[in-house]
Amino acid sequence: MKNIGLYIHVPFCVRKCRYCDFYSVTDLSLTDLYTAAVIRNIKAYGYGFDTVYFGGGTPSLLTPKQIGAILSAAEIAPDAEISMECNPNSVSENYLREVRLAGVNRLSFGVQSFDDNELKMLGRLHDSVQAVAAIETAKKVGFDNISADLMLAVSGQTFESLRRSLSTVAKLPLTHISAYMLKVEEGTPLAADEDLLAKIPDEDDTADMYLEAVKKLGNAGFEQYEISNFARDGFECRHNLKYWRCEEYLGVGPAAHGFIDGARFACPKDLNKFISSEIQETVTLDEGGSAEEKAMLALRLVKEGLPLDEYPDAEKRGEILIKSGLLKKENGTLRLTPEGCLVSNQIICRLIG
């Protein structure tokens, strides 16, 4: 049996955050029916899995019993990475202990900031004290692979508040950080709030905040391996690496995406339809895994880079970018520098034509 990745979209939230446009609902009475549908679909596809990722939404709104039932239904490799996103306010010591016994071995906390004013602005339900406590409790109950999300250039953020958050990160038992710049999505409450929009740092400050985060995280032992991702040695997210390496993964759940047999597909953003269908409906988006797509994704992996033996024309196209410090050539690859990451889309277009 071929092992691939498994992404499970858990579409439940207590409430939507101001910036979020991911699909979710607030009716938690549907979690049992949802769990049964996930199990039904996993069994129907018949794959084995060496990475599993519970994303959302808020996966930690599922009970440990529900998480365990889903994992028990899947053919999972003995050394699989099994990740689950968590909100700091939705977990307790007992919950974390039980979800670890259910099979989860990697947690990703949606912290976003360790500044209470920024958390309030974002619409998060936790404060900085809860975030610190959740991470420390996860370590206490036996998790050795713990990630946290941080948002850069959010409304009202200053260099001082960012540095405080980065300083807190360095002191916690974290092995991975996802640090990404705020993107204002159409249709979200944030996009309609002119006061908050006016307080978002400008482009120059946003760029400097990103470079500050890269530097501070590196000094704290988190090596940048992707534009927005940093890890201690050996703790890169194996599941997300599948995305960037154009490897196969199955998506299960409303709004989930997948990539199998050279085709990318998506599931409709409809929980009721997902629950009522014997097998989830999918829509084929396009073919995947082209040379251009692989090049684009390889360049996101700043630690691995674009192999020049596979893309020999890229070096000549990138000469001026190397001279300007946006690219570097190392060990037969082209890699984005931190400054290059800030204009990655333009660089990628230039290199792959």
Angle, helices 93-101 vs 64-73, to 10°: value is 10
Residues 204 and 315 grouped into a single domain: no
Please give the C-alpha separations between residue 321 and each of 45, 125, 351, in angstroms, as whole numbers. Answer: 45, 43, 10
- Continuous segment of H or E residues that includes residue 139: helix 128-140
- 118 & 192 share domain: yes
Q: How many domains does the chain have?
A: 2
Cis peptide before 57 (omega within 30 of 0): yes
In a domain, 46, yes or no: yes
Tell me whether residue 319 is in a domain.
Answer: yes
| CATH number where 117 lies | 3.20.20.70
Q: How many beta carbons lie within 10 A of that of residue 137, not counting itself?
A: 18
pLDDT in tens, 126-176: 999 999 999 999 999 999 999 999 999 999 999 999 999 999 999 999 999
Show the domain range for 318: 291-352
Give pLDDT, residue 1. 65
Q: Are residues 160 and 76 in the same domain?
A: yes
- 34 and 146 part of one domain: yes
pTM: 0.95
Residues 72, 145 within the same domain: yes
At 60, list the tokens.
């930690």
Q: Is residue 130 part of a domain?
A: yes
What b/e sequence results for 29-64 when a residue is b if at least 16 CB atoms lie within 10 Å of its CB, and e otherwise?
A: ebbeebbebbbbbbeebebebbbbbbbbbbbbbbbb
Confirm if 159 and 215 have CB atoms less than 8 A apart.
no
Tell me: do 67 and 155 sit in the same domain. yes
Q: Is residue 272 part of a domain?
A: no
Q: Which of 244, 238, 231 is nearest to 293 (CA)?
A: 244
Q: Are 301 and 322 in contact (CB under 8 A)?
A: no
pLDDT (0 to 100) of residue 267: 96
Pair (108, 177) in one structural domain: yes
Question: Do residue 79 and residue 192 come from a single domain?
Answer: yes
pLDDT at 353: 67
| Residue 273 to residue 281: CA distance in whole angstroms | 8
At 18 the pLDDT is 74
Structure confidence at residue 286 (pLDDT): 78
Q: Do 307 and 183 fall into the same domain? A: no
* DSSP label of 2: -
Domain for residue 224, yes or no? yes
pLDDT of residue 266: 95
In a domain, 281, yes or no: no
pLDDT at position 93: 97
Residues of the chain with pLDDT under 50: none
